[in-house]
Amino acid sequence: MPILETGNRSAGYTLLEIVAVITLIGLILTIAYPRIDLSAERVEVGYIGRLIQADFKRMKDESVSDPSSDFAVTFEPNGYSLFIGERRINRSFKYHFAFELPEAPLQSEAEEGTSSSAVNQNASQQAEPETSHDTGESASEPIDDTTETSYKVHIDRGEVSGEELQIPWQTSHFKGSLLCKKDGFVEWKYEKK
């Protein structure tokens, strides 16, 4: 004897099932998003370190091949700038990146060979086009070399003028330090806060 069907049910989902699935997806995203954001920040911090090391290596190499030119990196709270050849390159970073710059320069004027004000005048007299590389900011925004919150590191004949320099930095979730060694190489260390 055949079983009788008492109702005609269509093939579909009820409103309650759809709301349950959307709630479950929202809960999973709420848990996963901070980890995704932290992972993206970790990648950016590693990128910043590799970029600084590459810039210092290039400046070191060029200062050896052209010792008559002045090579300097100007650190500012949210990034740094440098001249390579005739181009000025500005680097600024995301994730609330900030260098904790020293109050006073660690190098004496005699060790530098030139006064920092003369270097600032030379840098401000040159009106080269500015370029920005993967920083998220416009290339047309100038960096003021005369601010009190900047710190200049000179590279002469492949070596950093003065003593080794350690500059602490921090982002939203990471902290670390940049160590400019006397031989012109850079160490980049970081850890989660």
Mean pLDDT across the chain: 76
pLDDT of residue 70: 80
- In a 10 Å sphere around its CB, with 0-12 CB exposed, 13-18 middle and 19+ buried, how is residue 162 labelled? middle
pLDDT of residue 91: 92
Highest mean pLDDT among 90-94, 133-137, 161-165: 90-94
Answer whether 114's CB lies under 8 Å from 32's CB.
Answer: no
Domain parsing of the chain, residue ranges:
15-192
**Side-chain half-sphere exposure of 132, counting CA atoms within 13 A:** 13
pLDDT of residue 111: 42
Question: What is the helix, strand, coil percentage profile of the chain, to 5?
Answer: 35, 25, 40
Model confidence over 116-158: pLDDT tens digits? 333 333 333 333 333 334 444 333 344 444 445 788 888 888 8
pLDDT above 70: percentage of residues in the chain: 71
pLDDT above 90: percentage of residues in the chain: 31
